[in-house]
Amino acid sequence: MIALFGFMAVALGGLFWRSLTWLLFGPNADDFVVQRHGVSVRSPSAELAPFDRTAARSARNLILVACHSITVGESLEGVDVRDDRWMLVDYQKHASMPQAFTGHIRKGIELALEDPHALVIFSGGQTRLHAGPKSEANSYFFVADHFGWWSSRAAKEVRPRAALEEYSTDSLENLLFSLCRFHELSGSYPKHVTVVGYTFKQERFRDLHRAALRYPLESFRYVGVDPDTNAFRARLPQLEFFESTASLAPFREDPYGCHSEVLRTKRVDRNPFSRQPGFILSCPEISTLLRYCERKLYPVGELPWDS
Q: How many CB atoms lie within 10 A of CB 94?
A: 13
- What does the pLDDT read at residue 19? 46
Mean pLDDT of 247-273: 98
Structural domain includes residue 100: yes
Q: What pTM was estimated for this model as a whole?
A: 0.86
User: Over 70: is that where the pLDDT of 4 sits?
Assistant: no
Structural domain includes residue 280: yes
> The domain that contains 149 carries what CATH number?
3.40.50.620
Domain count, the chain: 1
Residue ranges in the chain assigned as alpha helix (H)? 2-25, 53-57, 97-114, 136-146, 152-157, 171-186, 202-203, 210-212, 230-242, 249-253, 261-269, 279-282, 287-291
Structural domain includes residue 9: no
Range of the domain at 162: 52-306
The whole-angstrom separation of Cα 146 and Cα 50 is 15
- pLDDT tens across 52-102, in order? 999 999 999 999 999 999 999 999 999 999 999 999 999 999 999 999 999
User: Over 70: is that where the pLDDT of 44 sits?
Assistant: no
- What does the pLDDT read at residue 12? 43
Percent of the chain past pLDDT 90, that is, above it, reads 83
- What does the pLDDT read at residue 46? 55
- What does the pLDDT read at residue 136? 98
- pLDDT tens across 186-223, in order? 999 999 999 999 999 999 999 999 999 999 999 999 99
- What does the pLDDT read at residue 66? 98
User: Over 80: is that where the pLDDT of 25 sits?
Assistant: no
**Residues paired with 163 in a beta bridge:** 121
Of 86, 81, 70, which Cα lies nearest the Cα of 39? 81
Structural domain includes residue 156: yes
- Report the run of H or E that residue 63 belongs to, with start and end: strand 61-66
Q: Exposed, middle or buried by CB within 10 Å (0-12, 13-18, 19+), for 117?
A: middle
User: Over 70: is that where the pLDDT of 126 sits?
Assistant: yes
Residue of 44 and 158 predicted with greater confidence: 158
The whole-angstrom separation of Cα 213 and Cα 285 is 13
Characterize the bridge pairing of strands 33-36 and 39-42. Answer: antiparallel
Q: Residues 125-158, buried b or exposed e (16+ Cβ, 10 A)?
A: bbbbeebeebbbbbbbbebbbbbbbbbbebbebb
Listed range (45-49, 89-93, 254-258) with the worst mean pLDDT = 45-49
Mean pLDDT of 235-249: 98
Structural domain includes residue 179: yes
Characterize the bridge pairing of strands 162-165 and 192-197. Answer: unpaired
Of 96, 106, 66, which Cα lies nearest the Cα of 196? 66
- What does the pLDDT read at residue 39? 43
Tell me the C-alpha to C-alpha distance, in Å, between residue 135 and each of 51, 70, 167, 270, 300.
19, 6, 8, 11, 34
Structural domain includes residue 247: yes
Average pLDDT, the chain: 89
Of 36, 74, 46, which Cα lies nearest the Cα of 144? 46
Give the three-state DSSP class for 196.
Answer: strand
Tell me the C-alpha to C-alpha distance, in Å, between residue 178 and each of 26, 189, 194, 235, 270.
40, 10, 11, 29, 17
Of 282, 286, 69, 256, which Cα lies nearest the Cα of 172? 256
Sign of CA dihedral 105, 197, 215, 116: positive
pLDDT band at 302 (very low <50, low <70, confident <90, very high): confident
Mean pLDDT of 95-118: 98
Structural domain includes residue 192: yes
User: How many Cα atoms within 13 Å fall on the side-chain side of residue 16?
Assistant: 6
Structural domain includes residue 149: yes
- pLDDT tens across 134-178, in order? 999 999 999 999 999 999 999 999 999 999 999 999 999 999 999
- What does the pLDDT read at residue 187? 97
User: Over 70: is that where the pLDDT of 40 sits?
Assistant: no
Mean pLDDT of 40-51: 68
